[in-house]
């Protein structure tokens, strides 16, 4: 049974949902049915609003369970098999009151059962089903095939049968769930239902018509998709731009809560109560302005002819479309796609309301005109080396004077009734300005030269033993542009912003974006132009004061990085470092001598141990002992000298540290 509630209004959003309104007539306590896909039930249950607009009431809204079909059918008191359905049904409802129409009359009675009897037909015998009814106090049997109508008079039997058939019917659409709106009231009333469903995102595409003598013309189309199971016939269509919050929440599937298990408590014998001892002391404590007067002028009026794209050669100009004469492309577009779009701001959202009914059949899509207005703009060139190294892009300098928020989408550009390119349009608020590139401008050639060097040191400071010399890294980009076209052109050069600063001799950018400086250049026909952009950034070199030599100190003094006072301290530090080096060399030499003496003594002692008794042997031993005594004297002298050198070393290091730590200096060069 089709729903009396037809779709009257559709609102599509950019974040993947659609808002639907239905209206229809119900009478008395009639129930209205709506079918939804199973995946849409959560959105429907979350958002549905039902109103009786004529004084009645909505008593309840019921919907199909999530139980499997077999389980639902098992709960029904009636089962109808695939074959022999009528006889099987009548056999299951014994005791049910029915009204039967047989031939020209009718009887009322109670079903007793079904029987099968042979009936002679010609020369053959055929088994025929017969229904036995209790009529008053008599049993009568009727040939089932002669029954023209059988009405169940018991409400319970009728509802069970309707439930069974509706359940089986819903199984044919396994993804479909039925929602029933139960109403109460008198007479015929109007019912209103609204809800939100997941829907395809509506899309936009644009056409721009460039004309030498008139402002550019923008035509906008919305692409909408009806992926539902129902036609949209003469619906009121609105399209919303923006991003409201939306989410999926499971309301359809039954939700169960774990409950605690509580057992019956049994009383035990009462034991003596021993209260706890109180504590002695218990205490408790308890988150650029676009340009001066701009290419569009400061008055907001339509652009002049100098702002319009240059005309094509006269030989290309067509006076008519398809040779039919009298009307140009612009006039034809304005008449054939005349559209009035009602727009309004809804918080941060923007609504396009189509002024005429829209029809989109199920599983089909449609292009709906939403915009047809002139705007302020002109043809310019935009060069970005990362986009194309040798040529700029032909662009429309687009100012959104349509008064509407324009959603992003593809743009097809026509100039002088000829297709000239395509582009992508960003989302534009009213009065926003964008460059819309649509083609490569081969008549303009750009070459770029880059060089980089280090500028002079401009600041020096010394602190905590470190000298820092600050200087500027400088770089220069030279853009050489040749306009080979026979018409003047306006060029914008985009130079990357990488954290460097423009130098004072660099030209002032016309515009500044997050990633680029834009420099405007006016190109004469057949002429060349040069743009030089110079930038700088700070750099620094660090030196450890304790490691500077005399030559480096002399260079810094000559370069005026330091003054004579600082140079004197640095020379003293260098002399102390040289003295420290001498101490280290002397200490190393003495250590090497001491190690050789130790090795010699080990050799002499080994020789003494190997000698035997005898006069000649004693003389040799005495000689070895004398030599050992001399070496021991030298070792004592070395130890005393090394101790003195270590004391000197400590003192020199302290002097170096004191000189370095006490040195503070800063100079602006």
560 and 602 in a single domain? The answer is yes
Counting the structural domains of the chain, the total is 4
For residue 535, what pLDDT is reported? 95
Decide if pLDDT at 267 tops 80: no
Lowest average pLDDT, out of 128-142, 174-188, 248-262, 582-596, goes to 248-262
Mean pLDDT of 339-353: 67
Of 527, 543, 559, the last residue of a domain is 543
- What is the total residue count of the chain? 669
For residue 356, what pLDDT is reported? 87
Confidence of residue 67 (pLDDT cuts 50, 70, 90): low
Residue appearing with tokens 């009405």: 151
User: What is the 3-state composition of the chain as percent helix, strand, coil, each rounded to the nearest 5?
Assistant: 25, 40, 35
157 and 28 in a single domain? The answer is yes
Decide if pLDDT at 374 tops 90: yes
Lowest average pLDDT, out of 257-261, 306-310, 594-598, goes to 306-310
409 and 323 in a single domain? The answer is yes
Of 162, 186, 225, residue with least CA distance to 33? 162
- Give a yes or no: residue 260 inside a domain: no
51 and 80 in a single domain? The answer is yes
Mean pLDDT of 74-96: 74
Confidence of residue 606 (pLDDT cuts 50, 70, 90): confident
Mean pLDDT of 441-452: 95
- Give a yes or no: residue 317 inside a domain: yes
Of 500, 520, 543, the last residue of a domain is 543
- Give a yes or no: residue 526 inside a domain: yes
CA atoms within 13 A on the CB side of 320: 5
22 and 151 in a single domain? The answer is yes
557 and 496 in a single domain? The answer is no
Decide if pLDDT at 413 tops 50: yes
The C-alpha atoms of residue 105 and residue 100 are separated, in whole angstroms, by 9
For residue 329, what pLDDT is reported? 60
**What mean pLDDT is reported for the chain?**
82
Stated pTM of the model: 0.61
468 and 532 in a single domain? The answer is yes
Decide if pLDDT at 505 tops 80: yes
Count of beta carbons in the 10 Å neighbourhood of residue 146: 13
Mean pLDDT of 246-274: 64
Mean pLDDT of 186-196: 93
Decide if pLDDT at 638 tops 80: yes
21 and 150 in a single domain? The answer is yes
Range of the domain at 409: 206-210+299-350+360-442
Q: Which residue did the predictor score with more confidence, 334 or 622?
A: 622
169 and 35 in a single domain? The answer is yes
Tell me how many degrees the CA angle 480-481-482 measures, rounded to the nearest 5: 125
Mean pLDDT of 147-161: 85
């Amino acid at each position: 049974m089709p729903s009396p509630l037809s779709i009257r209004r559709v609102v599509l959003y950019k974040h993947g949902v659609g808002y639907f309104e239905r209206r229809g007539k119900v009478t008395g306590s009639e129930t209205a049915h709506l079918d939804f896909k199973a995946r849409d039930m959560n959105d429907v249950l979350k958002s549905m609003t039902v109103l009786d607009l004529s004084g009645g009431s909505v008593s309840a809204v019921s919907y199909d369970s999530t139980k499997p079909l077999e389980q639902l059918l098992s709960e029904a008191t009636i089962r109808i098999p695939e074959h022999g359905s009528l006889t099987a049904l009548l056999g299951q409802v014994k005791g049910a009151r029915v009204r039967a129409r047989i031939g020209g009359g009718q009887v009322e009675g109670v079903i007793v059962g079904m029987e099968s009897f042979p009936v002679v037909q010609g020369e053959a015998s055929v088994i025929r089903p017969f229904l036995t009814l209790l009529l008053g106090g008599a049993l009568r049997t009727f040939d089932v095939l002669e029954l023209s109508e059988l009405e169940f008079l018991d409400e319970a039997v009728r509802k069970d049968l309707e439930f069974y058939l509706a359940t089986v019917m819903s199984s044919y659409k396994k993804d479909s769930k039925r929602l029933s709106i139960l109403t109460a009231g008198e007479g015929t009333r109007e019912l209103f239902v609204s809800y939100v469903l997941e829907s395809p995102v509506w899309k936009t595409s644009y056409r721009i018509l460039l004309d030498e003598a008139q402002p550019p013309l923008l035509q906008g189309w919305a692409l909408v998709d009806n992926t539902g199971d129902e036609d949209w016939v003469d619906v009121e269509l609105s399209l919303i731009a923006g991003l409201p919050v939306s989410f999926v929440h499971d309301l359809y599937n039954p939700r169960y809560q774990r409950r605690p298990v509580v057992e019956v408590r049994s009383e035990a014998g009462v034991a003596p109560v021993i209260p706890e001892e109180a504590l002695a002391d218990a205490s408790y404590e308890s988150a650029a302005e676009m340009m001066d007067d701009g290419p569009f002028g400061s008055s907001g009026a339509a652009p002049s002819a100098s702002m319009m794209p240059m005309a094509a050669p006269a030989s290309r100009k067509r006076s008519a479309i398809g040779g039919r004469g009298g009307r140009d492309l612009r006039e034809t577009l304005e008449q054939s796609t005349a559209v009035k779009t009602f727009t309004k701001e809804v918080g941060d959202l923007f609504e396009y309301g189509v002024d005429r009914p829209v029809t989109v059949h199920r599983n089909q899509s449609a292009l709906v005109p939403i915009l047809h207005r002139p705007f302020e703009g002109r043809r310019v060139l935009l060069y970005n080396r990362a986009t194309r190294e040798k040529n700029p892009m032909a662009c429309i300098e687009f100012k959104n004077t349509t008064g509407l928020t324009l959603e992003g989408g593809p743009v097809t550009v026509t100039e002088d009734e000829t297709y000239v390119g395509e582009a992508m349009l960003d989302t534009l608020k009213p009065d926003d300005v964008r460059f819309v590139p649509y083609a490569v401008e081969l008549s303009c050639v750009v070459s770029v030269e880059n060089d980089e060097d280090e500028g002079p040191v401009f600041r020096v400071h010394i602190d905590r033993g470190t000298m820092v010399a600050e200087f500027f890294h400088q770089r220069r980009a030279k853009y050489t542009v040749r306009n080979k076209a026979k018409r003047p052109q306006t060029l914008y050069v985009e130079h990357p912003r990488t954290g460097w600063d423009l130098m004072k001799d660099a030209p002032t950018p016309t515009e500044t974006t997050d990633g680029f400086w834009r420099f405007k250049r006016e190109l004469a026909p057949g002429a060349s132009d040069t743009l030089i952009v110079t930038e700088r950034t700070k750099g620094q070199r660090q030196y450890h004061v304790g490691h500077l030599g005399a030559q480096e100190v002399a260079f810094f003094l000559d370069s005026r990085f330091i003054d004579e006072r600082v140079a004197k301290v640095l020379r003293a530090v260098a002399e102390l470092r040289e003295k420290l080096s001498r101490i280290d060399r002397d200490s190393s030499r003495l250590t090497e001598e001491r190690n050789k003496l130790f090795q010699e003594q080990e050799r002499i002692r080994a020789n003494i141990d190997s000698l035997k008794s005898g006069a000649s042997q004693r003389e040799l031993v005495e000689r070895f002992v004398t030599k050992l005594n001399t070496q021991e004297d030298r070792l004592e002298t070395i130890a005393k000298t090394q101790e003195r050198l270590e004391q000197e070393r400590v003192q020199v290091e302290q002097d170096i540290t004191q000189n370095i730590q006490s040195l503070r200096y800063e100079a602006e060069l």
